[in-house]
């Protein structure tokens, strides 16, 4: 029996950090990764918020955390399945 059931597109969480003074954008898979990569900021206050506060912040319905230093958003990245990508990129060269 041939199975034509293709996996649904995968949804992955994303956390978007904007540093207001430089305009830099950073994207992370979760809040822990954000604070791991900006760990000095948790203690010296350069993000202006502690990990536990942001972890418990209500990001539902597109709510955004913002202070004088940064903007933090949480959202979803929709990705295609590997099978779908391969079908659409038949001539793409594979990396060694």
Residue 6, in any domain of the structure: no
Higher-confidence residue of 59 and 42: namely 59
Query: Domain for residue 1, yes or no?
Result: no
The span from the CA of 72 to the CA of 85, in Å, is: 30
pLDDT tens digits for range 31-48? 999 988 886 644 455 788
Q: Is residue 32 part of a domain?
A: yes
Residues of the chain above pLDDT 70, percent: 68
- Which H or E element spans position 55? helix 51-55
- pTM for this one? 0.70
Distance of CA 34 to the CA centre of its chain: 9
Domain span at 81: 11-88
With respect to residue 26, please indicate whether it lies within any of the assigned structural domains: yes
Name the least confident of 8-12, 65-69, 88-92.
Answer: 88-92
For the chain, the domain total comes to 1
Whether pLDDT at 22 is above 70: yes
């Amino acid at each position: 029996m041939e199975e034509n059931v293709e996996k649904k597109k995968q949804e992955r969480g994303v956390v978007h950090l904007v540093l207001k003074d430089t305009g830099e954008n950073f994207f992370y898979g979760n809040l822990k990764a954000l604070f791991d990569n900006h760990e000095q900021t948790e203690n010296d206050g350069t993000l202006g918020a502690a990990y536990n506060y942001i972890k418990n912040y209500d990001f539902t319905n597109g709510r955004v955390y913002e202070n004088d230093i940064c903007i933090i958003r949480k959202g979803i990245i929709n990705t295609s399945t590997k099978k779908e990508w391969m079908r659409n990129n038949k001539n793409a060269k594979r990396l060694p």
